[in-house]
Every structure is written in C-alpha cells, then in structure tokens.
Amino acid sequence: MGIHMVLGPQADLFVDPRWARGNGTFGADPARVSALAQAFVEGVQHGADGVQADGVAAVVKHWAGYGATPHGFDATTYYGREIPISNAELVRHMKAFDGSFAAQVAAVMPTYAAITGPHYQGKPFEPVGAAYNQALLAGMLRHDRKFDGLIISDWLIAEDCAAICMSPTKEHPHTLDTLGMPWGVQSIGKDKRFAKAMNAGVDQFGGADDPALLLAALSKGLISKRASMMPSPA
C-alpha cells in the first residue's frame, strides 16, 4: 500500500488502570510485553534482523516509563508532564523494550514526560522531557543498549504550552489548537528546543514540518556536528 513506517508497537507497561493509553499496550508484565512487541516488530518489518525491503519500519514507543505516569494522568497534559520514578522501576519499564531491540527495531520514540528521580553515571536526570534527556537517549539507549536506529520524537514537543494548555477548564479545554509538550524547556526559545533535542540524540521530529527553526539553531552553532549527522546503518 506504500506505507513505510508504523508508530508502534507500544511497549509501555500498563501499571495503572486509570491511564487512558493503557489499551494500546500489551499489559503490565515486562517479559510478556517484550515478547509480544518483538513479534509485532518481526511481523511488520518482515524478519528478525531489522526492517527488510518488503517490510515496514517499526517505531517502538515510548522510551521509557510512560506507563508510570502518576494518578493515571497522561504526559500529553501539563499536569501529567513529570513521572517520578526510581532507577529500579525505570529499568523494569525498559526491559519491556528488549524484544524490540533483539529484532533490530528501526526506530524508537521517547515519551513526552520528564522522567525525574533516576541517576545515570552518578548524576540525577535533568528534569526535561525524554526527547531532551541526554542520559536517557545518548546514554541508556545509544551507549548502553547499542541502539543505532532512528530516534523519532513524539509529536509537537517543541511547541508552546499556552495558558489554556497549562490550566484547562470545562469552558476552555485542552485541544489540538492549544497542544504543545515542551516539558522542562518551556523557558527557552523554540530553536534552542530543537537544538537541545538533537544534541540529546533525536534524529527526526514528529509533527514538525517547517525546517526554519532547526536551520536557525544550526546556523547559530547550537547543534553539534555529531548530533546533526544521521547514525550509521546497522
């Protein structure tokens, strides 16, 4: 049909029944989720050794810990923007991705949320959205798990979260017109958001179709040469 990529599987752990996105997961057990996500990847990519010429690239999501959002809130909302979690619990959520990595999944999508609480190489996580988190992407994903596929951000991470977005009401709800998930980087300009995400490891931005801000960040020297280069193929 001409489809090149699918934004799945969803390898998040469904640990809170109040979470609205739980129905897109494979459950709460890391081993089961890992196995089923692996089968999904192998099916759509047409093999266990990465995407084939007659396959469709899979994008496993959302790296990592998205299902642990407190009170069932979703990280697309301002009040669900942070997920406090321990290192041990984060590792448990990451295990659900093992099968997808074994099948050489083409791409990984980070969660919207700012994962707060864990430490990496003795330093606490920066309280920013996962797509801006170097420890989570360049460290735990690229370095530790040797992932060399694409890292694709979730949609509209560099857009502003306006007043209605931060304080929705019945009369003025949070809608697509007010959507923006720049968690932890609200105070910096959009060009710097793009640069920060690229320097953390993001290769492609979901929902962004205007390259002007990215080019502006590049011209200002905000993006490192290494970050601006595509990863080598496996």
Active centre residues (catalytic): 29, 154
Peptide bond into 64 cis (omega under 30): yes
Q: Which two tokens stand for residue 224?
A: 């490192």
Residue 223, number of CB atoms within 10 A of its CB = 20
Q: Which helix (H) or strand (E) holds 161?
A: none
Give the C-alpha separation, 147 to 162, whole Å: 35
Beta bridge partners of 5: 57
Q: Which of 174, 147, 148 is nearest to 163 (CA)?
A: 174
Segments of the chain assigned E as strands: 5-6, 57-63, 82-84, 107-110, 114-116, 119-120, 123-124, 150-151
Please classify residue 44 by burial: count the beta carbons closer than 10 Å to its beta carbon, then call 0-12 exposed, 13-18 middle and 19+ buried: buried
Give the C-alpha separation, 172 to 122, whole Å: 43
Q: Which two tokens stand for residue 201?
A: 């490891």
